[in-house]
Chains A and B, each alone.
Chain A
Amino acid sequence: MAVLLLAEINDGVLSVDATAKAVSASTSLGDVTVLAVGATAADAAAEAAKIDGVAKVLVAEDALYSHRLAEPVATLMAALAADYSHIVAPATTDAKNILPRVAALLDVMVLSDVTAVVDADTFERPIYAGNAIQTVKSSDAKKVITFRTSTFDAAGEGGSAAVETIAAGDNPGLSEWVEDKVAESDRPELTSAKIVVSGGRGVGSEEDFAIIEKLADKLGAAVGASRAAVDSGFAPNDWQVGQTGKVVAPELYIAAGISGAIQHLAGMKDSKIIVAINKDEEAPIFQVADFGLVADLFEAVPALTEKL
């Protein structure tokens, strides 16, 4: 049994955290071969080779893979599939875009957002916004899986896998990249941050979101937001935590002015410690919070920032 793992690479840089978490999720399934695909992927491949548990790294570097459009990357992965029993990736937007396409090309189902590996055919995954956990056994010859990274520990460094260059696959010629609008951020990346401070509708405006950001900066935390805050234009959409945004499981999650709707809880209820600051003591967020403070966030958040 062998595993082909799509490394998470953005603009030639390996996302070590996401990739290393997917590696640790995969090692019980067989020898892990990491696939580094991109317009520039050699540096990322060298980084991936250092992850503990990686047996081999394949590099496919070609202009065709610039911005990792789904059609050419899926074509390449399907062509490589013959030697592997499991084809996996961390559940990022990149992988969610590509892996179901790979699965259909191979005529197999995909297992999305897997949170636990029971055995080589059996996996756990959350359904209904995380309100139920389904254990499923695949009867497919090949398993195509995305792993929810927030539930696995990152594999350490110390590996020294061989790096092998492979030829680019066919070009389906169906799509082209136009532009990226990358949100500027000096803060830690939301999905891998140890601490996350999130604001909701209660924050009231884009200007007032600054008090959330100030607390986050004090703690060296990433900033998150509820859907209400994003829809109201208080925060950019890539800060959204929840069923349709990002799923996080930090050591500490501070929710300020967030009621705690099912869809938001789906993205953060596996956090180790949850703190809720809300003036409505009936808010559902208090049912999952380890420490709840019923208070006006405009007083409590600056006071908290001050005291840290």
Chain B
Amino acid sequence: MKVLVPVKRVIDYNVKVRVKADGTGVDLANVKMSMNPFDEIAVEEAIRLKEAGKADEVVVVSIGVKQAQETLRTALAMGADRAILIIAADDVNTDIEPLAVAKLLAKVVEEEQPGLVVAGKQAIDNDMNATGQMLSALLGWSQATFASEVDIDGDKAVVTREVDGGLQTIKVNLPAIVTADLRLNEPRYATLPNIMKAKKKPLDEKTAADYGVDVTPRLEVVKTSEPAVRQAGIKVESVDELVTKLKEAGAI
């Protein structure tokens, strides 16, 4: 079985983002970019399936600007076999919407015929949490979102999901889309020799037009603003003072 893993290049999760003063977006110039943390978990899971003999090839795909090939190289260094880059934007500020990404991924799935797609549950830039579900709808496949455990059992996958009240286990028909939650695994670091080897692994470059998918946004960004700033608070000296202040504020 082939496993397909979509990965996204996003602002590094440790960076404190800055909203541009003119309200046109978030300042991404000269900011450290990395692989979306949930996608690292998805890549790790795919590689583990391969190591367990449940998968025979791991293909990673990224959609966006040309620089996303760095993200794909990282996935290859972790252990993926092959990469596909779909260039759909000229400018890092253009975020392709989940619907367009799902349509492009659906075309890749048609071509590659994977038995399983493992995606991250959400990208930490747009915080949408939608691409996996949308891809699954477009393909008419089953979906298992927010996965914390995946077990391939013949032509089905048994997946434990993180839901509001605790955990839920479902059994889905393969092929399926699984989206990875934080607790699915601990992603490995790419070692230096593997980073060198990854440079020789195949990376196909395509464009959105090659797949005949229109990536025009459905949601026009009117403006991007800073969230409301909290009033500066005070430091209290003791528990007694804290209790007094909370009583004054009517909080307790």
Q: Which chain A residues have a beta carbon within 8 Å of chain B's beta carbons?
A: 10, 67, 69-71, 74, 92-94, 96-105, 107-113, 122, 125-140, 172-183, 191, 195, 219, 227, 230-231, 236-238, 243-244, 246, 251-252, 262-263, 269, 272-275, 281, 286, 288-295, 300, 303-304, 307-308
Contacts and interface: CB of A to CB of B under 8 A. Distances in A.
Given A128-B124, A135-B223, A236-B166, 18 more contacts: A10-B165, A69-B170, A94-B164, A100-B134, A101-B136, A108-B99, A113-B127, A125-B127, A128-B26, A135-B224, A137-B220, A174-B142, A176-B170, A180-B166, A231-B183, A238-B162, A251-B251, A275-B246
A94 B140 CA distance: 19
B227 interface: yes
Question: A-side binding surface: helix, strand, loop or mixed?
Answer: mixed
Contact of A308 (B125, B141, B227, B252): B252
A252 B252 contact: yes
A251 B127 CA distance: 25
Given A96-B145, A181-B167, A292-B236, A128 B17 contact: yes
Contacts of B207: none
B133 A128 contact: no
Contacts of A172: 140, 142
A71 B142 contact: yes
Interface stretch (B46-54, B77-85, B108-116, B237-245): B237-245
A70 B235 CA distance: 47
24 contacts: A69-B170, A71-B143, A93-B161, A96-B129, A96-B145, A100-B98, A110-B130, A126-B227, A128-B26, A132-B19, A133-B224, A135-B225, A136-B222, A139-B218, A139-B219, A175-B143, A178-B169, A219-B252, A227-B182, A244-B122, A263-B13, A304-B239, A304-B243, A307-B239
A126 B127 contact: yes
B162 A110 contact: no
Interface in B41-64: none
Nearest to B243: A307
B226 A175 contact: no
Given A100-B98, A104-B137, A174 B128 contact: no
A181 B98 CA distance: 31
Nearest to B233: A290
Contacts of B170: 67, 69, 175-178
A285 to B, nearest CB: 10
Given A122-B222, A136-B219, A238 B165 contact: yes
A146 to B, nearest CB: 9
Nearest to B226: A132
Given A128-B124, A263-B13, A135 B222 contact: yes
Interface in B92-151: 97-99, 102, 121-122, 124-138, 140-146, 148
A206 B14 CA distance: 27
Given A101-B133, A136-B221, A178 B125 contact: no
Contacts of B14: 262
Given A175-B142, A175-B173, A274 B233 contact: yes
- Max chain A C-beta neighbours (<10 A), residue from B136, B227, B245: B227
A300 B240 CA distance: 10
B231 interface: yes
Interface in B1-25: 11, 13-14, 16-17, 19
Contacts of A122: 222
